[in-house]
A and B are shown apart, each in its own frame.
Chain A
Amino acid sequence: MQLARRLAGGPLWIVPLALGILLILVPYFNLEYSIVRQLQLAMILSLLVSGLNLSLGFAGELALGQVAMYAAGAYTAGLLSKNGHTDILLQLAAAGLAALLVGVLTGIPGLRLGSWSLAMTSFFLVLLLPDVIAIFKEDTGGRNGLTGILSPTMFGRMLTPEDYFMVIAVVTVAWFAVMRNIAVSRHGTALRVLKQSPVLAASMGINVFRMKLMAYALGAVPAGLAGALFASLDLYISPEAFGFTVATTILAASVLGGSASVYGAVFGAFVLQFGLNQSTDFQKYSLVVTGAFLIIGGVLLTGGLSGLARALWRKLAAGQPAAAPADRSDPDASAGDEVPAVPGKVLKVEGVAKAFGGNQALKGVDLTATPGRVTALIGPNGSGKTTLLNMICGFYRTDAGVIALDERQLQRMGPDQVARTGVARTFQTPNIPEGITVREAVMAGRYAGHRATVLEAVLRLPRYRKVRKGDLAEADRVLDLVGIRHLEDAEATALPLGQRRLLEVARCLIGNPGVLLLDETASGLDEDEVERLAEVIRRVRDAGGTVVLVEHNFQLVLSLADEIVALAHGELMAKGTPEEIQNNERVMSEYLGIDPDAPASPHVVLADVLTDGAQDGVGR
């Protein structure tokens, strides 16, 4: 307990680093040959598993073609060696590139259709492998395997088996350092956002396709490295080493260790290599065991062994739940004395029309939202509010009309492009990725606007550090603005609804959006929460932000909006100041359900409705 607590206080990467150094030094321990060999194979397997994790665990795309990239790396290295290029560094570089190429070429078509098609396209590669090897029989030796691979060298020096063990260990440790740096960087967070919801990712300006391709193709690199290491380990490779069984073993190890973790790959690979593959009976039952395991693992072990370990660790280290207390009124939070400017832009919607089949959802709607003002969009269910919102965000194509932010027309852009132009939105049901802190969730809002490449993140280059510093500072700023900074280390999904809404607002604000779209942001909140939210919206407005509020809570709309646009049946019903809308007969009868000709004075009835409807919105 004591030790765990102290360790948890220090930098956590020390533990894996120490283990890694231990692994590199294994040749000095005089272990038995068979154990050394198993260790080598386990390290190679863990590289393969780690590559899969990047795709399956982080980007949420099942890929089964790891074996093909492994083979691409192995044959590249093997052929190089056969032709006299025995330097292992050269082989590693070439193998990594070859695998990356396979990854990019198969990822582009495979990712067009989403989950099944990538799984199948990459699975197909495994089936193709023996054929391709057979086609180039002259070079690859076909089914008989590739012989004549020369012993590896480094800088012209022959490597002893001990040296070679260290090469494998160093490559493995280096890759896991890379993987860890990706996982904890903004790219890791962005991948979690993507896995949570592609819609969310796109609305934050992340190009979904490119991001998935990045994860999948990058996952090919360790597989290629593993291939090169394997080729020079046995100095012989044949198609048999790259069959379906290996493909499924990789998947099983990934699920066992926890696909969404960095070091889970090592766990899973070592357990499978040392545990199951040892017994000779296992060969016979391997398919049955792997299959059963994948079913059980898929159903029960969502986080894999590393998930269990993490939960246990948290218990040991903290002794109390990790989620922060739901302290609703933090006195320091409302430090709203000096609110930095939020430079808004003019959002202009002109004559926008949209039909879904025969259903004309919108017919020529106009709307203008200007900086420093809150523009509310109201209307009965089915009047086209959400459709309009989705069209502004680029999720639907317009049939006619113009949507522009300042001078830039948005209606032809995809959602991620619209977001990068400066449109930020929240969702009816807060959309927040699992497993990240409030601060990380907010920082993700800057991912698309302030770029740092994966390479810069891996190597921690100055630009990455600069962007990261900006991320942290800006996160503090916007969390202060919405008043939940004291929760920044809490797990984002553990927050109560009201604070998750505020978190979404903060995530939008961090990107300095030209316009902020709030989709039914008060629904489900209690009065205090609504009041806090209203306060935040006012602050954003006063700071010069452009706010569009889609809302059912009529009282909130009346108190906040500078201008109200009312829709009905996809058309503009009314437009004006809160007073004008409140007294508009059509709005009263069609939206609020009040008959203006009824004997009772409409204002009395309206007041009744408002009191009733304060909680859950009028007009439901």
Chain B
Amino acid sequence: MTLIWGGLSLGAIYAIVAIGYNIVFISSKTFNFAHAQLTMVGAFVAYTGLVTWDLPVLVVVLMAAAAVAVIAAIEERIAIRPVGDMHNILVTTLGASILLDGIAQLTWGTQPLTVPFFAGDEAFTLLGGRAYPVELFLIAMAVLIVVALGIYSRRSLTGLALLGMAEDREAALLRGVNVRRMAFMAFVAAGALAGFVGMFVGSKTFAVSTLGAALALKGFVVLAIGGFGSMPGTLVGGTLVGLAEAYASRYLGGEYANLAVFLILITILMVRPAGLFVRTKERVV
């Protein structure tokens, strides 16, 4: 059970990254390569706030969310909006992710930094396994975000507009939805979310400048499993990836963890390339 808690909480982190990908994907059909790096920056900012400046947790959470939202806004303006071609967006957002990696390395160094968790790091026994508070918190948070976004997208006007945009951008435009503005706001919101969760992610994984690349890839695998645009799919994907990683590294050895995740990715792409929870659409000329 200890293993399961560990795996599930890792999976929750990946799911949260995938949720960020999804928000951007739904609103603008683009893929923000740098989203995982935004989460990483959130973890670093949280470290600075909590350890270096010794600020209260609530202030730090808000600070991290705001800081990363600003970074996301800048990213959208310089690396996404001016780019016309879809292929180039992959290159520019990858560039943004490398840039963030580099800035993080220069600012915070290459050593892993411990981000303290507000509810302590005393392990306790739950359902026959040892679990850390932050692990349970991450799992709960992933589920909560998915549920909240589900409700929001169906109940609020903005959410409905977003869904409309995802379905047909032009139709939404004709209906009076300011598509560009909405896409920008969604991008910034995804950034704020990344900053917000950064603190808790950092508590589990350490804040380290190589975090981004690993999170980006695992988050993508989660997305591939659940299907692009599917929020509940991220939870299933996260569970699968997290557990696979935990079990592989426990029973086969650490160097098999990534390999296990990679095999899942290959299998899913071969068997069901659109993901488990998205129906394949027919191509339109």
Contact = CB atoms under 8 A, between A and B. Distances in A.
Interface in A356-401: 356, 386, 390, 393, 395-397
Given A112-B270, A121-B269, A395-B283, A255 B91 contact: yes
B86 interface: yes
B155 interface: no
A226 interface: no
A297 B92 CA distance: 8
Nearest to B275: A113
A294 B92 contact: yes
Contacts of A386: 285
A302 interface: yes
B99 A288 contact: yes
Contact of A294 (B98, B258, B283): B98
Given A124-B265, A199-B285, A299-B92, A135 B256 contact: yes
B220 interface: yes
Given A124-B262, A287-B99, A295 B90 contact: no
B22 interface: no
Interface centre among B33, B91, B100 (most CB of A within 10 A): B91
Contact of B92 (A123, A244, A298): A298
Contacts of A56: 87
A431 B284 CA distance: 15
A124 to B, nearest CB: 5
Contacts of A289: 102
Interface stretch (B2-10, B77-85, B117-125, B156-164): B77-85
A119 B257 CA distance: 21
Interface in B250-285: 255-259, 262, 265-266, 269-270, 273-274, 282-285
Interface string B138-151: 00000000000000
B101 interface: yes
Contacts of B256: 131, 135
A302 B83 CA distance: 10
B87 A115 contact: yes
A291 B270 contact: no
Given A285-B106, A395-B285, A396-B282, A298 B255 contact: no
Contact of B78 (A110, A295, A395, A397): A295
Given A127-B258, A291-B101, A298-B83, A115 B90 contact: yes
Given A199-B285, A244-B213, A294-B94, A112 B269 contact: yes
Contact of A298 (B91, B102, B105, B106): B91
Nearest to B79: A295
Chief secondary structure at chain A's binding surface: helix
Contacts of B67: none
Given A120-B217, A295-B79, A299-B88, A287 B265 contact: no
A288 B102 contact: yes
B4 to A, nearest CB: 23
A128 to B, nearest CB: 5
Contact of B217 (A123, A356, A393): A123
A8 interface: no
Given A109-B265, A295-B78, A390-B285, A286 B91 contact: no
Given A112-B270, A116-B31, A128 B262 contact: yes
Contacts of A112: 269-270, 273
Nearest to A291: B99
Interface in A108-166: 108-110, 112-113, 115-117, 119-121, 123-124, 127-128, 130-132, 134-135
B214 interface: yes
Contacts, number: 146
B90 A127 contact: no
Contacts of A128: 258-259, 262
A60 interface: yes
Given A116-B31, A123-B217, A199-B285, A287 B92 contact: no
A293 interface: yes
A288 B282 contact: no
A124 B214 CA distance: 9
A397 B284 CA distance: 11
Interface in A47-61: 56, 60
B98 A131 contact: no
Contacts of B101: 287, 291
Contacts of A6: none
Interface in A223-251: 244, 248, 251
Contacts of B270: 108-109, 112
Contacts of A60: 87
> Which of A123, A132, A287, A289: most chain B Cβ within 10 A?
A287
A25 B272 CA distance: 53
Contact of B91 (A121, A135, A251, A288): A251
A64 B78 CA distance: 22
B82 to A, nearest CB: 5
A62 interface: yes
B105 A287 contact: yes
A62 B90 contact: yes
B100 A291 contact: yes
Contacts of B78: 295, 299
Given A128-B259, A298-B79, A390-B285, A291 B273 contact: no
Contacts of B283: 199, 395-396
Interface in B224-266: 224, 255-259, 262, 265-266
Nearest to A197: B285
Nearest to B95: A294
Contacts of B274: 113
A4 interface: no
Nearest to A415: B283
Nearest to B88: A298
Contacts of B33: 119
Interface in A581-602: none
Given A134-B255, A298-B88, A299-B83, A292 B269 contact: no
Interface string A58-99: 001010100000000000000000000000000000000000
B213 A127 contact: yes
A244 B285 CA distance: 38
Interface in A27-56: 56
Given A199-B285, A287-B101, 15 more contacts: A64-B94, A109-B266, A115-B90, A120-B221, A127-B217, A128-B262, A131-B257, A131-B258, A284-B106, A288-B103, A288-B106, A294-B91, A294-B98, A295-B92, A298-B95
Interface of B: 31, 33, 78-79, 82-83, 85-92, 94-103, 105-106, 213-214, 216-217, 220-221, 224, 255-259, 262, 265-266, 269-270, 273-274, 282-285
Interface of A: 56, 60, 62, 64, 108-110, 112-113, 115-117, 119-121, 123-124, 127-128, 130-132, 134-135, 199, 244, 248, 251, 255, 284-295, 297-299, 302, 356, 386, 390, 393, 395-397, 427
Chain A to chain B: the 5 pairs with minimum beta-carbon distance, closest first = A294-B95, A291-B99, A287-B102, A291-B98, A288-B102
